[in-house]
Amino acid sequence: MAARLQFRDVTLGYDRHPAVHHLSGEIASGALLAVVGPNGAGKSTLFRGLVGILKPLAGSIACGDLDVRDIAYLPQSAEIDRSFPISVFDFTGSGLWRATGAFGGLGRRERRRVVEALAAVGLNGFENRPIGTLSGGQMQRMLFARVLLQDAGVIVLDEPFNAIDAKTSADLLALVRRWHEEKRTVLAALHDMDLVRTNFPETLLLARGAVAWGPTAQVLTADNLLRARQMCEAFDDGAAACAAPVLPPRAA
Ligand SMILES: Nc1ncnc2c1ncn2[C@@H]1O[C@H](COP(=O)(O)OP(=O)(O)OP(=O)(O)O)[C@@H](O)[C@H]1O
Protein backbone atom coordinates (compact mmCIF):
# COMPACT_ATOMS: atom_id res chain seq x y z
CA MET A 1 0.00 0.00 0.00
CA ALA A 2 1.18 3.56 -0.67
CA ALA A 3 2.82 5.51 2.14
CA ARG A 4 0.38 7.94 3.59
CA LEU A 5 2.42 9.61 6.31
CA GLN A 6 6.14 10.17 6.32
CA PHE A 7 8.44 11.31 9.09
CA ARG A 8 11.48 12.85 7.47
CA ASP A 9 14.27 13.16 10.02
CA VAL A 10 11.79 15.01 12.17
CA THR A 11 12.66 16.54 15.54
CA LEU A 12 9.83 17.81 17.73
CA GLY A 13 10.08 19.50 21.09
CA TYR A 14 9.33 22.36 23.37
CA ASP A 15 11.28 25.63 23.81
CA ARG A 16 13.96 24.28 21.43
CA HIS A 17 14.44 21.17 23.60
CA PRO A 18 13.82 18.02 21.55
CA ALA A 19 11.35 15.45 22.83
CA VAL A 20 11.29 13.36 19.64
CA HIS A 21 14.64 13.16 18.03
CA HIS A 22 15.48 12.61 14.33
CA LEU A 23 12.69 10.21 13.51
CA SER A 24 12.39 8.86 9.99
CA GLY A 25 9.92 6.34 8.67
CA GLU A 26 6.63 5.94 6.94
CA ILE A 27 3.16 4.67 7.64
CA ALA A 28 1.26 2.95 4.86
CA SER A 29 -2.29 3.90 4.09
CA GLY A 30 -4.62 1.62 6.05
CA ALA A 31 -2.00 0.68 8.66
CA LEU A 32 -2.97 -0.18 12.23
CA LEU A 33 0.06 1.00 14.19
CA ALA A 34 0.72 0.97 17.92
CA VAL A 35 3.16 3.56 19.23
CA VAL A 36 4.69 2.34 22.49
CA GLY A 37 7.49 3.46 24.77
CA PRO A 38 8.17 4.40 28.38
CA ASN A 39 6.68 7.51 30.01
CA GLY A 40 8.25 10.56 28.43
CA ALA A 41 9.30 8.64 25.29
CA GLY A 42 7.70 11.24 23.06
CA LYS A 43 4.51 9.47 21.93
CA SER A 44 2.15 12.38 22.62
CA THR A 45 4.68 14.81 21.19
CA LEU A 46 4.87 12.78 17.99
CA PHE A 47 1.08 12.80 17.70
CA ARG A 48 0.92 16.55 18.35
CA GLY A 49 3.37 17.00 15.48
CA LEU A 50 1.36 14.73 13.23
CA VAL A 51 -1.93 16.55 13.79
CA GLY A 52 -0.29 19.95 13.36
CA ILE A 53 -0.48 21.22 16.94
CA LEU A 54 3.32 21.25 17.21
CA LYS A 55 5.63 22.52 14.49
CA PRO A 56 8.84 20.49 13.92
CA LEU A 57 12.08 21.99 15.25
CA ALA A 58 13.80 20.28 12.30
CA GLY A 59 12.86 17.89 9.51
CA SER A 60 9.27 17.47 8.41
CA ILE A 61 6.15 15.34 8.46
CA ALA A 62 4.62 14.73 5.05
CA CYS A 63 0.96 13.81 4.78
CA GLY A 64 0.76 13.53 0.97
CA ASP A 65 -2.44 15.02 -0.34
CA LEU A 66 -4.12 14.68 3.06
CA ASP A 67 -5.64 17.79 4.52
CA VAL A 68 -4.93 18.17 8.23
CA ARG A 69 -8.73 18.17 8.66
CA ASP A 70 -8.73 14.57 7.45
CA ILE A 71 -6.86 13.54 10.61
CA ALA A 72 -9.02 12.84 13.66
CA TYR A 73 -7.22 13.18 16.98
CA LEU A 74 -8.20 11.75 20.33
CA PRO A 75 -6.04 13.50 22.95
CA GLN A 76 -5.29 12.05 26.36
CA SER A 77 -8.41 12.67 28.43
CA ALA A 78 -6.27 14.61 30.97
CA GLU A 79 -5.89 17.27 28.27
CA ILE A 80 -9.64 17.91 28.17
CA ASP A 81 -10.77 20.79 30.36
CA ARG A 82 -13.61 19.11 32.21
CA SER A 83 -14.63 22.38 33.87
CA PHE A 84 -15.55 23.87 30.49
CA PRO A 85 -19.34 24.34 30.53
CA ILE A 86 -20.32 22.29 27.50
CA SER A 87 -22.78 19.44 27.14
CA VAL A 88 -21.89 15.96 25.90
CA PHE A 89 -24.01 16.66 22.80
CA ASP A 90 -22.25 19.90 21.90
CA PHE A 91 -18.77 18.54 22.63
CA THR A 92 -19.39 15.47 20.48
CA GLY A 93 -21.02 17.58 17.76
CA SER A 94 -17.76 19.51 17.39
CA GLY A 95 -16.56 16.40 15.51
CA LEU A 96 -18.71 17.62 12.63
CA TRP A 97 -16.89 20.93 12.25
CA ARG A 98 -15.32 19.74 9.01
CA ALA A 99 -18.81 19.47 7.55
CA THR A 100 -20.40 22.46 9.26
CA GLY A 101 -17.47 24.90 9.70
CA ALA A 102 -16.18 25.95 13.11
CA PHE A 103 -19.18 28.17 13.86
CA GLY A 104 -21.81 26.44 11.77
CA GLY A 105 -25.02 25.29 13.43
CA LEU A 106 -26.16 21.70 13.28
CA GLY A 107 -29.19 20.89 11.15
CA ARG A 108 -31.62 18.04 11.83
CA ARG A 109 -29.54 15.52 9.94
CA GLU A 110 -26.34 16.47 11.81
CA ARG A 111 -28.11 16.38 15.16
CA ARG A 112 -29.28 12.87 14.37
CA ARG A 113 -25.72 11.86 13.51
CA VAL A 114 -24.51 13.12 16.91
CA VAL A 115 -27.20 11.11 18.70
CA GLU A 116 -26.27 8.03 16.64
CA ALA A 117 -22.56 8.43 17.40
CA LEU A 118 -23.31 8.67 21.13
CA ALA A 119 -25.51 5.58 20.88
CA ALA A 120 -22.72 3.74 19.06
CA VAL A 121 -20.42 4.22 22.07
CA GLY A 122 -23.14 3.37 24.61
CA LEU A 123 -23.87 6.93 25.74
CA ASN A 124 -27.59 7.14 24.92
CA GLY A 125 -29.32 9.51 27.29
CA PHE A 126 -26.13 11.41 28.17
CA GLU A 127 -26.67 14.15 25.59
CA ASN A 128 -27.54 16.97 28.01
CA ARG A 129 -25.02 16.11 30.71
CA PRO A 130 -22.18 18.62 31.27
CA ILE A 131 -18.92 16.90 30.31
CA GLY A 132 -17.56 17.54 33.82
CA THR A 133 -20.04 15.02 35.23
CA LEU A 134 -18.76 12.07 33.18
CA SER A 135 -16.71 9.25 34.66
CA GLY A 136 -13.31 8.51 33.09
CA GLY A 137 -14.68 5.68 30.95
CA GLN A 138 -17.70 7.73 29.85
CA MET A 139 -15.39 10.60 28.90
CA GLN A 140 -13.33 8.19 26.79
CA ARG A 141 -16.48 6.91 25.07
CA MET A 142 -17.48 10.52 24.31
CA LEU A 143 -14.06 11.22 22.78
CA PHE A 144 -14.49 8.16 20.56
CA ALA A 145 -17.95 9.42 19.51
CA ARG A 146 -16.39 12.69 18.39
CA VAL A 147 -13.77 10.80 16.35
CA LEU A 148 -16.53 8.67 14.81
CA LEU A 149 -18.29 11.81 13.60
CA GLN A 150 -15.14 13.21 12.05
CA ASP A 151 -15.19 10.34 9.55
CA ALA A 152 -11.45 10.88 8.91
CA GLY A 153 -9.03 8.85 6.81
CA VAL A 154 -6.36 8.99 9.53
CA ILE A 155 -7.19 8.46 13.19
CA VAL A 156 -4.69 9.25 15.94
CA LEU A 157 -5.52 7.96 19.43
CA ASP A 158 -3.42 9.00 22.43
CA GLU A 159 -3.76 6.38 25.18
CA PRO A 160 -7.36 5.60 24.26
CA PHE A 161 -7.78 2.76 26.76
CA ASN A 162 -6.08 4.38 29.71
CA ALA A 163 -7.71 3.76 33.10
CA ILE A 164 -10.92 2.29 31.73
CA ASP A 165 -12.60 -1.00 32.56
CA ALA A 166 -12.37 -4.17 30.47
CA LYS A 167 -15.87 -3.84 29.00
CA THR A 168 -15.29 -0.25 27.85
CA SER A 169 -11.87 -1.21 26.41
CA ALA A 170 -13.44 -4.10 24.49
CA ASP A 171 -16.22 -1.87 23.11
CA LEU A 172 -13.80 0.84 22.01
CA LEU A 173 -11.34 -1.69 20.61
CA ALA A 174 -14.15 -3.01 18.43
CA LEU A 175 -14.48 0.49 16.97
CA VAL A 176 -10.75 0.59 16.26
CA ARG A 177 -11.04 -2.77 14.44
CA ARG A 178 -13.94 -1.43 12.43
CA TRP A 179 -11.93 1.62 11.38
CA HIS A 180 -9.11 -0.68 10.31
CA GLU A 181 -11.53 -2.82 8.28
CA GLU A 182 -12.76 0.38 6.64
CA LYS A 183 -9.13 0.91 5.50
CA ARG A 184 -8.59 3.98 7.61
CA THR A 185 -5.07 4.54 8.94
CA VAL A 186 -5.09 4.18 12.73
CA LEU A 187 -2.28 5.07 15.14
CA ALA A 188 -2.60 4.55 18.89
CA ALA A 189 -0.22 5.30 21.76
CA LEU A 190 -0.51 2.42 24.20
CA HIS A 191 1.06 1.00 27.34
CA ASP A 192 -0.66 -2.40 27.48
CA MET A 193 1.75 -4.68 25.60
CA ASP A 194 -0.66 -7.65 25.65
CA LEU A 195 -3.32 -5.52 24.00
CA VAL A 196 -0.79 -4.38 21.40
CA ARG A 197 0.42 -7.92 20.69
CA THR A 198 -3.13 -9.17 20.22
CA ASN A 199 -4.61 -6.33 18.22
CA PHE A 200 -1.96 -4.26 16.46
CA PRO A 201 -0.05 -5.80 13.53
CA GLU A 202 2.62 -3.07 13.49
CA THR A 203 4.42 -1.24 16.25
CA LEU A 204 6.75 1.71 16.60
CA LEU A 205 8.79 1.46 19.78
CA LEU A 206 9.78 5.01 20.63
CA ALA A 207 12.38 6.29 23.06
CA ARG A 208 12.76 9.86 21.77
CA GLY A 209 13.89 8.18 18.54
CA ALA A 210 12.80 4.89 17.00
CA VAL A 211 14.20 1.86 18.82
CA ALA A 212 12.38 -0.53 16.50
CA TRP A 213 9.59 -0.23 13.96
CA GLY A 214 7.86 -3.04 12.10
CA PRO A 215 5.79 -6.18 12.74
CA THR A 216 4.73 -6.16 16.39
CA ALA A 217 6.25 -9.55 17.32
CA GLN A 218 9.66 -8.45 16.02
CA VAL A 219 9.49 -5.08 17.77
CA LEU A 220 8.26 -6.05 21.24
CA THR A 221 11.22 -8.18 22.26
CA ALA A 222 12.65 -8.04 25.79
CA ASP A 223 15.90 -6.61 24.39
CA ASN A 224 14.16 -3.79 22.54
CA LEU A 225 11.98 -2.90 25.53
CA LEU A 226 15.03 -2.78 27.80
CA ARG A 227 16.89 -0.63 25.27
CA ALA A 228 13.95 1.77 25.09
CA ARG A 229 13.86 2.14 28.85
CA GLN A 230 17.59 2.76 29.04
CA MET A 231 17.47 5.30 26.21
CA CYS A 232 14.68 7.23 27.88
CA GLU A 233 16.48 7.23 31.22
CA ALA A 234 19.69 8.46 29.58
CA PHE A 235 18.01 11.26 27.64
CA ASP A 236 18.82 14.79 28.76
CA ASP A 237 15.53 16.69 28.99
CA GLY A 238 17.36 19.99 28.66
CA ALA A 239 19.27 18.97 25.51
CA ALA A 240 19.29 21.51 22.72
CA ALA A 241 18.02 20.63 19.25
CA CYS A 242 20.98 19.42 17.15
CA ALA A 243 21.63 19.02 13.47
CA ALA A 244 23.18 15.54 13.33
CA PRO A 245 21.16 12.34 13.69
CA VAL A 246 21.84 10.44 16.91
CA LEU A 247 19.80 7.31 16.24
CA PRO A 248 19.63 5.30 13.02
CA PRO A 249 16.32 5.88 11.27
CA ARG A 250 14.10 2.84 10.82
CA ALA A 251 11.19 2.46 8.48
CA ALA A 252 8.02 0.39 8.73
N1 LIG B 1 4.03 21.12 26.84
C2 LIG B 1 5.25 20.68 27.15
N3 LIG B 1 6.24 21.56 27.49
C4 LIG B 1 7.49 21.14 27.79
N5 LIG B 1 7.87 19.84 27.78
C6 LIG B 1 6.93 18.93 27.46
C7 LIG B 1 5.59 19.29 27.13
N8 LIG B 1 4.89 18.17 26.85
C9 LIG B 1 5.76 17.13 27.00
N10 LIG B 1 6.98 17.59 27.36
C11 LIG B 1 8.18 16.78 27.59
O12 LIG B 1 8.47 16.07 26.40
C13 LIG B 1 8.90 14.75 26.70
C14 LIG B 1 8.02 13.74 25.97
O15 LIG B 1 6.72 13.83 26.54
P16 LIG B 1 5.47 13.09 25.88
O17 LIG B 1 4.26 13.56 26.62
O18 LIG B 1 5.50 13.25 24.41
O19 LIG B 1 5.80 11.56 26.23
P20 LIG B 1 4.86 10.28 26.20
O21 LIG B 1 5.65 9.20 25.54
O22 LIG B 1 3.55 10.62 25.59
O23 LIG B 1 4.71 9.96 27.75
P24 LIG B 1 3.54 9.27 28.61
O25 LIG B 1 3.60 7.81 28.31
O26 LIG B 1 3.97 9.58 30.00
O27 LIG B 1 2.24 9.92 28.23
C28 LIG B 1 8.85 14.61 28.23
O29 LIG B 1 10.16 14.80 28.75
C30 LIG B 1 7.94 15.73 28.66
O31 LIG B 1 8.29 16.21 29.94
- CATH number where 16 lies: 3.40.50.300
Higher-confidence position of 98 and 224: 224
Q: What is the DSSP letter of 87?
A: B
Q: Say whether pLDDT at 82 is over 50.
A: yes
Query: Which residue has the least CA distance to atom 24 on ligand 1?
Result: 39
pLDDT of residue 66: 83
pLDDT of residue 23: 97
- Distance from the alpha carbon of residue 44 to the mean position of ligand 1, in angstroms: 7
Does any domain span residue 245? no
Instruction: Report how far Cα 218 is from the mean position of its chain's Cα atoms.
Output: 22
Does any domain span residue 12? yes
pTM: 0.90
Does any domain span residue 167? yes
- Please say whether the beta carbons of 148 and 175 come within 8 A: yes
Which of 1-15, 90-104, 226-240 is the least confident region? 90-104
Q: Say whether pLDDT at 98 is over 90.
A: no
Does any domain span residue 242? no
Does any domain span residue 250? no
Which of 50-64, 68-82, 186-200 is the least confident region? 68-82
Does any domain span residue 241? no
Residue 1 pLDDT grade (very low, low, confident, very high; cuts 50, 70, 90): very low
Going by C-beta distance under 8 Å and a sequence separation of 6 or more, which residues neighbour residue 208?
18, 19, 20, 21, 41, 42, 231, 232, 235, 247
Higher-confidence position of 1 and 194: 194
Does 21 contact ligand 1 (Cβ within 6 A)? Answer: no
pLDDT of residue 102: 58
Atom number in ligand 1 closest to CA 13 = 12
Does 78 contact ligand 1 (Cβ within 6 A)? Answer: no
Mean pLDDT computed over 178-190? 97
pLDDT of residue 186: 97
Mean pLDDT computed over 26-48? 96
- Distance from the alpha carbon of residue 40 to the mean position of ligand 1, in angstroms: 5
Does 37 contact ligand 1 (Cβ within 6 A)? Answer: yes
Q: What domain range is 57 assigned to?
A: 3-234
Domain tally, the chain: 1
